[in-house]
Structures are given as C-alpha cells and as structure tokens.
Amino acid sequence: MFVFILRRLIQAAGVLLAVALLAFVLFQYVGDPVMIMLGQEGTPAERDQLRKDLGLNDPVIVQFYHFLSNAMQGDFGLSLRQGQKVSTLLRERLPATLELSIAAALIALLVGLPLGVYTALKRHGKLSQALLAFSLLGVSLPTFLIGILLILIFSVSLGWLPSYGRGDTIKLGWWSTGLLTKSGWTHLVLPAITLSLFQVALVLRLVRSEMLEVLRTDYIKFARARGLTRRAIHFGHALKNTLVPVITIMGLQLGGIIAFAIVTETVFQWPGMGLLFIQAVQFADIPVMAAYLCLISLIFVLINLTVDLLYFAVDPRLRAGLGKHSGGH
C-alpha cells in the first residue's frame, strides 16, 4: 500500500512540475508584462526599473526557480488587469466554481446512475430506448447551446429562474456560499443542470454498458442457478461490480467539470474561476492564466490520486496483485 501511494505521489510531482514549466513558458513568451503594466506612456527608465524589479533580467533558470518556489507558496504575483494578488482573486472565485461543479456531479450521479441501471435491466422497453436517445442528444449538444435554451425557456419565457449571477451569498470565514440563501439556490439551478447534462448522459451510457457486461458473466449465471432473487442478483452482485469503473470515470470527470466549467460560467456570468480565466485571456493577464493552469492541474492530480486510492480499496484484485508482487520480492 505504501509503495502504491509513493509511486502515485512521484507521478503526481512529475505532472505538476511539467505544468509549472508550461505555465512559466506562458509567463515568459506570451506578451510583455512590462508593456502591459506601464502601457505606451512608460518611459525607458521606468521600463528598465520594472523589468529589474520583476526579475526579468535574470537568467531563465533563475527565473524558473523563483517562479517555482513562489508557486509552491501560492504566490503568482499581481494581476496585470486588476492590480490585486492573483491568489486573492482565485480564493474569492474558488467557492463559486466548486459549488457549481459539485452540484453538477451530484446531479449526474443521482440521475445517471438509476437511469443507467433501468436501461440495462429493461433494455428492450420503449422508455429505455427514449432515454438512450436523450443521452445521445445530451452528448451531442454543445454546453453553450444547452445553457442558452434553458435561459430562453425558464428565464425569458416562463420567468421561473434567474439567468445570470450567483445570487445572495453568506461569508463563512474566507469561504462564500450561496447554499444558505434561497436566492443562491435559485441561481444555481440552471448552471448546474447545464453543466451536468453531458455528465448525466455519460454516466447513463457507462452504467448501462457495464451492467450489461456484468450480467453476462459466469458468477451471475451461477447466482441465478442457485435461485437468488432478481433483486439480490441485480443490486447485490451486478451493481456492486458495475460501480468500480464508474467511480474511476466520475472521479476523473469531476476534474473535467471543474476545468471546463468555463463555458457554463461565461453563459450564466457565474463569478467563478472559469469566468476569471476568460477575462484574463481577453486582457492577456498572464499571471492569472498561469495560476489558473497550475491550480486546475493540482485539482486534477489530487482527484486522480483519490480515485486511485478508492479503486484500490473497492477492487480486491488490485490488493491481491500488489500483495503478490510485494511477496515476490
């Protein structure tokens, strides 16, 4: 177990180092921060002084070392557009993105999982065929189009739900949440549904295919031969083994939801990290872009490590294989 975790940590460190190098290259070669900060009005003396203050005259290796050491402390400098510390901006936007992403992931699991089981057990039914057609539609339609359609129906035509913003929030230390206010919940509904539709379709089709595969295995046939009830076979044996790959996929998809919430946050003007990143791209705010890239990579790595540990816990074959490998040495 210790060797397994150590191996994963070394891999994670390698990934984060590669991403830090990419962010550093972005920082160095996309635009001139001195020109962006001072503009055309800056004198040559002011530019030289700022370049010296920012350490841009140092060798590239020294600059990368300073960038890496600062990044490990969460210090990415100042935003070129807003003049605030990048870490402060990300800390303010992180709660909104996490709330939206977790809400979308929960919807995907709570809706996609039972629908996937139903379509596997009733695969010839008309409702199952309709659900599969819906899932194909959910995978095919782009997120921004789904968001615009939901706004048109539920905000413009019916007037039931707000179309932009996060609503009223409550501060809990540095964390801000809209889950403790009615306004926060109503503002969350449309963005969460928009972000989750693709995931619902993905989970539905994944659970269905895995369930059908498990139902064809020999131990399920043996369970039927022993006279076990359908409920015990389907939910006590088949579903349990179906969930192993679903855990892996959903764990990785959670990272994807957080990273690619950019489109949803832009459509609904949700004040999260994705919207901040889009604004940073528009104004060539390199420190914010680099910090966002590093933070998303860190989230991906942590989620991936957690999924590996969960997979190790729920799949006895991995534990047996690791024990046999350790015993061989």
Q: Where are the domains of the chain?
A: 86-285
Tokens of 301: 């790595």
216 or 195, which is more confident? 195
Question: Which pLDDT score, from 0 to 100, does residue 191 have?
Answer: 92
Distance CA 281, CA 286 (A): 8
DSSP assignment letter at 16: H
Global confidence as pTM: 0.77
**Phi, psi (5° rounding) for residue 240?**
-60, -40
- Residue with tokens 């009005």, as numbered in its chain: 41
* Residue 37 pLDDT level (bands cut at 50, 70, 90): low
CATH 3.40.50.10440 fits 86-285, yes or no: no
| Cβ proximity of 289 and 280 under 8 Å | yes
Distance CA 316, CA 241 (A): 11
Whether residue 201 is predicted with pLDDT greater than 60 in this model: the reply is yes
243-271 confidence digits (pLDDT tens): 777 777 777 778 778 877 888 888 888 88
Tokens of 188: 């969350």
Distance CA 281, CA 244 (A): 39
What average pLDDT does the segment 179-187 reach? 87
Most confident of 25-29, 33-37, 115-119: 115-119
| Cβ proximity of 307 and 247 under 8 Å | yes
